[in-house]
């Protein structure tokens, strides 16, 4: 299986709001910790190291600073 | 009762008065690895001279955890039974976060092996037994207070310069084994780089003597109440000695932390009372490094001189004994002219591979204990937080992945799909009960064909061991097949396996091994 990058959430606005909602009222450090736990949980759920590898690559590439 | 160090006497070597005849093998260092190498060579009938600058066994305990594979190797060289009889046998490790157990492991869940998963035994006892065995061997010339000050390669060997209390002398050798430890003076003399990382962390390591009935289990704590924010390890040893490791942090002053008046209150908090005696203590910073190559013409690096790891996982001494295992039979064959020098490159290949695996595991554990600020710490803390809520996070908690032998990458070795992966080519042949004996006691020492559920092919010019199909043999060697032929190397590594084979195919593979092609 490969990483799903097309739309995969029926109600993306609700999912996005749930993510933001989980962080509500948290300090920056608490948010960082929550994100870290969430990533570990999702990574385990995915299980497939190839998919995780593609996700890591996409996350890295999409954060790359534009040259210059 | 603390160990009673008895100095070994200095005996003036013959080389002080007249040049000695050339020696086949000179071993520098009488630590566990140099001594084991000498005994392994002696097992193959090869003489050696062992030089050590000191005259007592390991000061302070250092290594305490000896793995099943090490015990099997030590058994072959005559001290396995003594180590098991004296040692504390254990197989369960428990990891705690604060006061809650988050993970445990059982290192030997199945019965039917001669050796236990681990014994804890102070390094000085192991060396003590090895010295006695070496002195009784007749093939080993053990020389204390002989410090090597120079090593140089010659056309067909190496020359060793030695300093003794009564003067200097020189030895000529076919091969020199540098078993001179983590700070290897020979490595420095040869200008070889030791590549890797140093962890910016300090650990207090202490052995205490006390009466207690703590279980024979490895116990590791992350952020325990008794040692705020850091990690701690507690291990039981023989003679009422307990090993305690406490993580201190990089910012601490090692000289200050090594004072008993600082150490004793810390340990009181761990054990809950002050009724103990401090036996030995030291502050360590750990490294994971290795030489790029372990074989340099006629000088061969073995043990800590070739590679060092942080001790969480007990991969230092245990890794070194596996070096001895991979080197001994090959070097013996080269020295006696039965194999070309090229087969020593296989030692290099296999043990740099094993060393990388040990470094990888030890580095990961150390970084989990001592994460860098930022992402490393976020995910470490997230794992610990999740561990008491979700099963998947528990095995991610990394307090050390304990030493198991690596599987050598024997690409192209004949193999059979459907046979167990535990006995695939490159792995140590799994032990199994054999009547009143053990399979590993009859394998090894020589290239051997293990025939299971069938006789060995006729006219096979190899040592043969034929065994019946017992449930253990079936599970460990046959899987879904009902017969097998296993070619086992002298170091008990599975070299190849077939369901059926002609004598010619088997001897051809054995020949390839002796020529260094497999
Ligand atoms: C705190 C701690 C805990 C550890 N725990 C474990 C564990 O649980 N399990 C495990 O497997 N490993 C453990 N280790 C690692 C283990 O102690 C080493 O891997 C082991 O000692 C390596 O053996 P060696 O023979 O290669 O080197 P060493 O034991 O260092 O021996 C080298 C020898 O060479 C001699 N020598 C040095 N220079 C010269 C010279 N110029 N001339 C002549 N002789 C010389 C020295 O005197 C010494 O006797 C631990 C280490 C530490 C520090």
Question: Per residue in B236-253, pLDDT tens?
Answer: 999 999 999 999 999 999
What is the rounded CA–CA span in Å between residue B274 and residue B261?
12
SS3 B221: strand
What is the rounded CA–CA span in Å between residue B488 and residue B479?
18
The answer regarding whether domain B14-90+119-194+291-349 maps to CATH 3.40.710.10 reads no
What is the rounded CA–CA span in Å between residue B84 and residue B71?
8
Residue nearest to atom 44 of ligand 1 (CA): B52
pTM of the predicted structure, to 2 decimals = 0.97
Q: Please name the member of B379, B390, B396 whose beta carbon is closest to the beta carbon of A36.
A: B379
B97: Cα separation from own chain's centroid? 29
The answer regarding whether domain B421-514 maps to CATH 3.40.30.120 reads yes
Direct distance between the N- and C-terminal alpha carbons of chain A, in angstroms, rounded to an integer: 37
Return residues 214-273 of B near A (CB < 8 Å): none
Q: What is the pLDDT of residues B72-118, one digit of tens each?
A: 999 999 999 999 999 999 999 999 999 999 999 999 889 999 999 99
Average pLDDT over residues B208-217: 92
Strands (E), B107-260: 118-120, 140-143, 147-154, 157-164, 167-178, 194-198, 203-209, 218-222, 231-237, 241-247
Q: Is B400 in the pocket of ligand 1 (CB under 6 A)?
A: no
In the predicted model, is pLDDT for residue B3 greater than 90?
Answer: no
Average pLDDT over residues B263-285: 95
* Nearest atom of ligand 1 to the alpha carbon of B315: 11
What pLDDT sits at residue A67? 67
Q: What is the pLDDT of residues B425-481, one digit of tens each?
A: 999 999 999 989 999 999 989 999 999 999 999 999 999 999 999 999 999 999 999
- Count Cβ atoms within 10 A of the Cβ of residue B252 and give its class: 0-12 exposed, 13-18 middle, 19 or more buried: middle
Q: Is B320 in the pocket of ligand 1 (CB under 6 A)?
A: yes
Q: Domain residue spans in chain A? A: 12-61
B309 pLDDT band (50/70/90 cuts)? very high
In the predicted model, is pLDDT for residue B388 greater than 60?
Answer: yes
What pLDDT sits at residue B1? 61
Q: Please name the member of A36, A41, A44 whose beta carbon is closest to the beta carbon of B378.
A: A36
B213 pLDDT band (50/70/90 cuts)? confident
What is the rounded CA–CA span in Å between residue A58 and residue B70?
44
Residues of chain A with pLDDT under 70: 67-68
Average pLDDT over residues B495-518: 97
What pLDDT sits at residue B229? 84
Residue B494's φ and ψ, nearest 5 degrees, are: -70, 120
What pLDDT sits at residue B348? 98
Mean pLDDT of chain B: 96
Centre of ligand 1 to C-alpha B220, Å, is 24
Say if CB B48 and CB B168 are below 8 A apart. no
Q: Domain residue spans in chain B? A: 14-90+119-194+291-349, 421-514
What pLDDT sits at residue B292? 98
In the predicted model, is pLDDT for residue B490 greater than 70?
Answer: yes
């Amino acid at each position: 299986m490969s990483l799903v990058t097309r739309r995969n959430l029926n109600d993306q606005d609700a999912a996005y709001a749930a993510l933001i909602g989980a962080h509500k009222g948290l300090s920056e450090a608490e948010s960082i910790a929550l994100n870290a736990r969430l990533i570990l949980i999702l990574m385990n759920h995915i299980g497939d190291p190839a998919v995780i590898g593609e996700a890591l690559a996409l996350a890295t590439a999409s954060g790359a600073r534009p040259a210059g | 009762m603390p160990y009673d160090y008895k100095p070994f006497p200095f005996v003036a070597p013959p080389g002080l008065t007249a040049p000695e005849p050339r020696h086949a093998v000179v071993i520098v260092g009488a630590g566990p690895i140099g001594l084991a190498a000498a005994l392994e060579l002696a097992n193959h009938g090869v003489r050696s001279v062992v030089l050590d600058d000191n005259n007592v066994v390991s000061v302070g305990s250092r290594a305490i955890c000896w793995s099943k594979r090490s015990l099997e190797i030590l058994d072959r060289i005559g001290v396995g039974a003594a180590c098991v009889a004296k040692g504390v046998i254990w197989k369960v490790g428990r990891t705690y976060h604060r006061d809650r157990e988050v993970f445990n492991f059982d290192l030997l869940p199945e019965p039917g092996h001669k050796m236990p998963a681990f014994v804890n035994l102070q390094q000085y006892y192991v060396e003590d037994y090895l010295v006695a065995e070496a002195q009784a061997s007749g093939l080993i010339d053990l020389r204390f207070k002989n410090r090597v000050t120079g090593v140089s390669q010659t056309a067909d060997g190496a020359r060793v310069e030695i300093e003794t209390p009564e003067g200097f002398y020189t030895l000529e050798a076919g091969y020199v084994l540098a078993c001179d430890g983590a700070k290897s003076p020979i490595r420095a003399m040869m200008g070889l780089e030791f590549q890797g990382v140093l962890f910016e962390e300090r650990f207090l390591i202490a052995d205490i003597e006390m009466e207690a009935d703590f279980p024979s289990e490895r116990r590791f704590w992350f952020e325990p109440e008794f040692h705020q924010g850091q990690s701690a390890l507690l291990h039981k040893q023989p003679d009422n000695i307990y090993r305690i490791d406490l993580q201190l942090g990089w910012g601490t002053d090692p000289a200050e932390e090594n004072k008993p008046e600082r150490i004793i209150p810390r340990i009181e908090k761990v054990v809950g009372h002050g009724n103990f005696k401090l036996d030995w203590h030291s502050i360590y910073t750990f490294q994971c490094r290795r030489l790029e190559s372990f074989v340099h013409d006629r000088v061969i690096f073995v043990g800590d001189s070739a590679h060092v790891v942080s001790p969480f996982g007990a991969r230092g001494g245990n890794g070194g004994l596996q070096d001895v295992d991979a080197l001994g039979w090959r070097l013996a064959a080269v020295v006696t002219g039965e194999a070309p020098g090229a087969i020593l490159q296989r030692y290099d290949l296999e043990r740099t591979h094993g060393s990388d695996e040990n470094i990888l595991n030890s580095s990961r554990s150390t970084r989990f204990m001592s994460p860098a600020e930022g992402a490393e710490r976020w995910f470490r803390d997230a794992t610990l937080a999740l561990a008491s809520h979700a099963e998947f996070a528990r095995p991610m908690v990394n307090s050390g992945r304990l030493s198991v032998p690596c599987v050598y990458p024997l690409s192209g070795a004949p193999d059979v799909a459907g046979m167990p992966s535990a006995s695939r080519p490159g792995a140590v042949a799994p032990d199994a009960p054999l009547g009143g004996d053990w399979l590993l006691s009859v394998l090894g020492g020589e290239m051997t064909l293990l025939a299971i559920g069938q006789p060995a092919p006729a006219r096979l010019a190899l040592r043969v061991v034929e065994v019946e199909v017992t449930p253990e043999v079936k599970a460990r060697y046959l899987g879904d097949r009902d017969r097998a032929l296993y070619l086992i190397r002298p170091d008990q590594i599975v070299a190849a396996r077939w369901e059926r084979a002609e004598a010619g195919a088997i001897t051809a593979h054995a020949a390839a091994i002796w020529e260094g092609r497999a």
